[in-house]
Amino acid sequence: MKHLSHASVSSSPPLVRSFYERETVNVAKELLGKILVRSFRSTVLQGIIVETEAYGGEEDPASHAYRGPTERNQVMYGPPGHAYVYFTYGMHYCLNVKTGPNGQAGAVLIRALQPASGIDRMKKVRGTERIKDLTNGPAKLTQAFDVTRDLNGHDLTTGRRLFIADNADPGKFEIASSSRIGVRAGTDRLWRFFIRGNQFVSKQ
DNA sequence: CTAAAGATGTCCT
DNA sequence: GGACATCTTTAGA
């Protein structure tokens, strides 16, 4: 069981827009080991990103943008570095970051985190004491981090409310890939990326 | 307007 | 391994 070193408190600034304004698959890989930060009035939650998935535009049959722009997916066509939050299965939210240039659809789904700080609050919100179950899935982490509709379109480069920061001490890890989880189409693309051996990855 | 599926999680057998 | 909760979005009539 691989465990990344605990970067309990990151004081790193938010990743800049040019980080997101690149090819989606590359951004998906490079987000591994980075820190998702959610700040409230008197609390800060942090988790190390350990699993991501890349989604393209009209050429990707698994993407929400496969059939062109709609009301739901409009953030995927907007400027890079903004949060695309969507509601699914009648009860769950999923968090993506918009990637690539303005006008071209692309996003990376954040699928799992390794909790780093604010764990007590995550336990309370998730209703479990098991750290392994706090953020090991796309809808689990949005619940733990209180990411809902009102953060759809949120700019992740401002450092307010929700952002992603560099990890000062990510340690060494190996990136593994597989086809994306929960999609019927586009399974030929190995666009799911995760830290090999990390116990917070959602599925083996 | 109607209906079916969905980038999931939880509980049950 | 399978049922089911629950509702928005999208496609098709």
Q: Which residue is nearest to nucleotide C10 (CA to C1')?
A: A70
Nucleotide nearest to A55 (CA to C1'): B7
A63 touches strand C (CB under 7 A): no
Name the more confident of A203 and A134: A134
Decide if A46 contacts A116 (C-beta within 8 A): yes
* Residue A161 is assigned to a structural domain of this protein: yes
Nucleotide nearest to A87 (CA to C1'): C8
Segment A148-152 shows an average pLDDT of: 97
pLDDT at A120 over 60: yes
* Residue A41 is assigned to a structural domain of this protein: yes
pLDDT at A5 over 60: no
Cα A170 from Cα A157, distance rounded (Å):
21
Q: Could you give the number of structural domains in chain A? A: 1
Cα A182 from Cα A159, distance rounded (Å):
31
Nucleotide nearest to A111 (CA to C1'): B7
Cα A138 from Cα A141, distance rounded (Å):
6
How confident is the model over A154-195, as pLDDT tens digits? 999 999 999 999 999 999 999 999 999 999 999 999 999 999
A203 touches strand C (CB under 7 A): no
Decide if A66 contacts A56 (C-beta within 8 A): no
**β-pair type (A83-88, A92-98):** antiparallel
Distance A71 CA to B2 C1' (A): 20
Distance A69 CA to B13 C1' (A): 43
**CA distances, A142 to each of A86, A132, A173 (Å):** 11, 15, 24
What is the residue range of A99's domain?
17-195
Please give the sequence-ordered ranges of beta strands (E in DSSP) within A66-137, or none if there are none.
83-88, 92-98, 107-117
* Residue A200 is assigned to a structural domain of this protein: no
pLDDT at A203 over 90: no
Per-residue pLDDT, A3: 56
A89 touches strand C (CB under 7 A): yes
Segment A134-154 shows an average pLDDT of: 98
Count Cα neighbours of A137 within 13 Å in the Cβ-side half-sphere: 14
Distance A139 CA to B10 C1' (A): 12
CATH of the domain at A148: 3.10.300.10
**In the structure encoding, which two tokens stand for residue A56, read together?**
């393209």
How confident is the model over A38-94, as pLDDT tens digits? 999 989 999 999 999 999 999 999 999 999 999 999 999 999 999 999 999 999 999
Q: What is the pTM of this model?
A: 0.95
Segment A109-135 shows an average pLDDT of: 97
